[in-house]
Amino acid sequence: MTPAGNYFLAARPESLKQVVAHVLVHEIGHHFGLSDDDMERIERS
């Protein structure tokens, strides 16, 4: 992993698993036409 990648993970309180899950849900949501606001509501529920 590059130093920038290490910084990205070290600067975040989430684990790598949480970051990957968030990005995966976000990208799948866009694929099905959900907006960022829609996905934020889903994640909060």
Q: What is the pLDDT of residues 15-42, one digit of tens each?
A: 888 888 888 888 999 999 999 999 888 8
Torsional sign, CA 10, 17, 20, 35: negative
Length of the chain: 45
Distance of alpha carbon 5 from alpha carbon 11, whole angstroms: 10
pLDDT category of residue 4 using cuts at 50, 70 and 90: low
Query: What are φ and ψ of residue 2, in 5° steps?
Result: -75, 160
Residues ≥6 apart with Cβ < 8 Å to 12: 19
pTM, two decimal places = 0.56
- The two three-digit tokens of residue 4, written as one number: 């920038």
Could you identify the residue written with the tokens 């694929």? 31
